[in-house]
């Protein structure tokens, strides 16, 4: 280990970062870890698409809402369509959800909702909208898989690092065909498997 004079370094860094960050508290939530079969069953639509638009779309009882549009490349479950547009609650509002009120340090609920960028390709497991017309990927971050291109080879990875996708495989023999614990999955194998699960 190299020598270090921490007495000179630490105060400088502390003082400089204190000006930027405040301790940001957070709610904690328990989300069920879903396997691929559960993600598929719970979804109204599953599609491969390219994000064509993300825009603010008013609010719902104080929550910011965003409208997200995908151009569909391949519909894996649900009625075929060229585009899918859905309304989802906005992601964390770091400015509004934390702060002070009546001398009390307050914090808000962090919802772990997926974020979208125009142009990105993703596999989305979309839940059915509720009465207010809002929906989101099933299992929150678990239900959106980024499509990652490495030359001619594509892989998919969800917001949970693909963890748990094949746990409980004993309940469905199809899940046994892919037996990885986590990490990137081959796109073509993944899409093929989801289509089979959707057809069951």
Q: Rule CB under 8 A: say whether 58 interacts with another protein.
A: no
Q: Rule CB under 8 A: say whether 138 interacts with another protein.
A: yes
Give the whole-angstrom CA distance, residue 172 versus residue 46.
Answer: 19
Q: Rule CB under 8 A: say whether 7 interacts with another protein.
A: yes
To another protein, the closest distance from the beta carbon of 43 in angstroms equals 8
To another protein, the closest distance from the beta carbon of 92 in angstroms equals 5
**Residue 92: how many CA atoms within 13 Å on its side-chain side?**
13
Q: Look at residue 107 and give its three-state secondary structure.
A: coil
Is 49 or 139 the residue whose CB approaches another protein more closely?
Answer: 139
Is 106 or 148 the residue whose CB approaches another protein more closely?
Answer: 106
To another protein, the closest distance from the beta carbon of 193 in angstroms equals 16
Is 129 or 186 the residue whose CB approaches another protein more closely?
Answer: 129
82-101 residues in contact with another protein (CB under 8 A) are 88-89, 92-94, 96-101
160-199 residues in contact with another protein (CB under 8 A) are 160-161, 163-164, 166-169, 171, 179, 181-182
Q: Rule CB under 8 A: say whether 54 interacts with another protein.
A: no
How many residues bind another protein, per CB under 8 A? 90
Question: Hey, what are 40's tokens?
Answer: 């598929």
Asked whether the beta carbons of 150 and 157 are under 8 A apart, the reply is no
Burial per residue of 130-140, b for 16 or more beta-carbon CB atoms within 10 angstroms, e otherwise: eeeebbbbbbb
Interior CA angle at 87 toward 86 and 89, to 5°?
140
User: Max Cα separation, the chain?
Assistant: 64
Is 62 or 151 the residue whose CB approaches another protein more closely?
Answer: 62
**C-alpha torsion sign, points 81, 87, 92, 95:** positive
């Amino acid at each position: 280990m190299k020598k270090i004079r921490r007495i000179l370094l630490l105060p400088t860094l502390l003082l400089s970062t204190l000006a930027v960050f405040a301790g940001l508290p957070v709610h904690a939530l328990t989300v069920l870890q879903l396997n691929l079969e559960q993600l598929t069953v719970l979804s109204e639509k599953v599609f491969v698409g390219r994000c064509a638009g993300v825009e603010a779309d008013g609010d719902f009882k104080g929550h910011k809402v965003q409208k997200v549009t995908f151009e569909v490349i391949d519909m894996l479950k649900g009625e075929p369509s060229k585009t899918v547009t859905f309304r989802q609650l906005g992601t964390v509002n770091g400015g509004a959800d934390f702060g002070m009120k009546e001398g009390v340090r307050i914090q808000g609920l962090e919802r772990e909702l997926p974020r979208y960028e125009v142009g990105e390709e993703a596999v989305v497991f979309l839940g059915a909208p509720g009465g207010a017309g809002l929906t989101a990927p099933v299992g929150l971050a678990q239900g959106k898989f980024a499509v990652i291109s490495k030359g001619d080879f594509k892989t998919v990875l969800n917001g949970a690092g693909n963890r748990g996708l094949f746990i409980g495989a004993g309940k469905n023999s199809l899940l046994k065909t892919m037996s990885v614990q986590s990490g990137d999955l081959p796109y073509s194998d993944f899409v093929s498997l989801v289509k089979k699960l959707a057809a069951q």
